[in-house]
Amino acid sequence: MVVFVCGSCGESVKKAAVDKHCQTKCRNCQSLSCIDCGKDFPGDTFRSHNQCMTEEEKWHGKDAKVKAGGNTGQKKQDAWVESIQNAIPVAKSSNPQLADYLQKLLGYDNMPRKEAKFKNFLKNSLRIHNHQIITAIWTVVGSVKAAVPVPQPKPPAQSSTNGGSVAADSPVANGRAAGNAEVEDLVEPAKKRSKKDIPEDTPALTKATTDETEATTDETAARKFRWKKEIREVLVDSPSHSLSERKLMKKVLRRYETSLDLRAVAQDDLSQTFDKYLRKYPDLFHVEDSRVKLICT
């Protein structure tokens, strides 16, 4: 990620946040300078400066050892940030709210590029729980997605049995290089498949394995959910800080499903977990005649 210094106020600004800086913090900004190479960029010329020297090059100069092909991961991330930047004017014309969310995204580093992780990032970082808005953001970014430069270095020549070598531009060599470059796109996390994605003719053993994986995911989510905090917040928002045990459980479980965005776990399992946490803190929650009261706020 390239970082610039504002020529007007002297503040350090990441490239993704330059537009926001110029619009809200420093309207007098006329030029920027790269914090690594020191080069000045007047006006919008900074947009072409996507990658600068590495720490190795900065401190060792000509003696620096630069890896062939560069940092592929950083190039992909820069291309992804560029896609989000390009999506902002598109979103403004149709839905200004989406443009605001996209602008906020530019303030974060290492944004996920896969759909499932990107949507979870929107929920957890921007606190967006409206599925339609989340889907719309992913769609508008995908529609202007920039091409990712994936380097395909030529493999070293290999000696054959008769003393010759395989040419670097031969079909065999090119096929091997292309295959390596496409491996990442072909691999998908099987654990994240939902039940509706499993074909009906899938063998019973495969379906059973998927069910076990989903069950494990739900159990892990139940442990991560902050039961004590959520129970307390529901009671604080209730009249007299008191609710019937049944209504309290219903409100807390609704928060559970909303915050984690998971398919519903068996009701009995969640009820038992709720009951365990409710009675785990008698100095905070007083239970009497199927009614729960918050002792201290």
For the segment 160-219, what is each residue's pLDDT rounded down to a tens digit? Answer: 444 444 444 444 445 444 444 444 444 444 444 454 454 555 455 444 445 554 555 555
Tokens representing residue 32 in the block: 């920027």
Identify the CA nearest to 211 among candidates 226, 198, 228: 198
CA 31 to CA 232: how far, in whole Å? 51
pTM: 0.34
Alpha helices in the chain (DSSP H): 18-20, 55-60, 72-94, 96-105, 115-125, 131-143, 171-186, 204-224, 227-236, 245-260, 267-280
Question: Is it the case that residue 279 has pLDDT exceeding 70?
Answer: yes
For the segment 43-90, what is each residue's pLDDT rounded down to a tens digit? Answer: 888 877 777 765 556 555 555 555 555 567 777 888 888 888 888 888
Tokens 């063998």, residue located: 203
Residue type, 211: D
Identify the CA nearest to 288 among candidates 247, 257, 244: 244
Q: Give me the CATH topology for the region 3-63.
A: Dna Ligase; domain 1 (3.30.1490)
Confidence of residue 135 (pLDDT cuts 50, 70, 90): very high
Contact partners, residue 116, CB within 8 Å, separation at least 6: 189, 192
Predicted pLDDT at 150: 47
Contact partners, residue 53, CB within 8 Å, separation at least 6: 36, 37
Higher pLDDT, 58 or 135: 135
- CB contact at 8 A, 101 and 80: no
For the segment 215-266, what is each residue's pLDDT rounded down to a tens digit? Answer: 555 555 555 778 888 888 998 888 888 899 888 888 988 888 887 655 545 5
Q: Taking the domains of the chain in order of start, what are their residue ranges?
A: 3-63, 72-143, 204-294
Q: Is 146 exposed, middle or buried (0-12, 13-18, 19+ CB in 10 A)?
A: middle
Largest Cα span, the chain: 90
Higher pLDDT, 21 or 51: 21
CA 279 to CA 274: how far, in whole Å? 9
Contact partners, residue 46, CB within 8 Å, separation at least 6: 4, 15, 18, 32
Question: Is it the case that residue 107 has pLDDT exceeding 50?
Answer: yes
Confidence of residue 27 (pLDDT cuts 50, 70, 90): confident
